[in-house]
Structure 1
């Protein structure tokens, strides 16, 4: 997946510009983003502070690692079951 060219701090700064009263279309034009991107960011980061956004990113990374470990463990378990069934 392609990474964003904006950091969480920059995204939150852009969202706070709109909270300060700037028009969404002007903000999007100034930063070179689409309206859809702006509203996607607002849904994800709206109301968050920078520290909270960093914590959210850390939790998402940890969740991805745990999902990968679970998938590998389930695959190993399935292979062991197949071997045990064929051996007897």
Structure 2
């Protein structure tokens, strides 16, 4: 996945403008983002401070690594079980 060119503080500022009543179209035009991006950020980060946003990303990255590790271990287990069955 491509890294965002916006920092967590910039995302928080953009979302705060929306919460303050600035029209979404104006916010997106000034920031150079699509409305879809704005609403994706809003869904994911609304109400979070930049430090909380950073922590959320760290937890998501850790979760992704753990999921891959579990998938690899599950595959290894299946392969070992197939080898054991063939020897019996």
* In the alignment, structure 1 residue 78 sits paired with structure 2 residue 78: yes
Query: Which stretches of structure 1, 4 residues or longer, exceed 3 Å deviation after superposition?
Result: none
Q: Once the 2 structures are TM-superposed, how far is the Cα of residue 16 of structure 1 from its aligned partner?
A: 0.8
- Which 5+ residue runs of structure 2 have no aligned equivalent? none
Name the CA distance, whole Å, in 2 between partners of 1:24 and 1:78: 50
Aligned to 1:30: 30
- Structure 1 residues 10-21: aligned runs within 5 Å: 10-21=10-21
- Which 5+ residue runs of structure 1 have no aligned equivalent? none
Q: Once the 2 structures are TM-superposed, how far is the Cα of residue 35 of structure 1 from its aligned partner?
A: 1.0
Aligned to 1:59: 59
> What is the number of residues matched between the two proteins?
88
TM-score scaled to structure 2, two decimals?
0.92
Aligned CA-pair RMSD: 1.0
TM-score scaled to structure 1, two decimals?
0.92
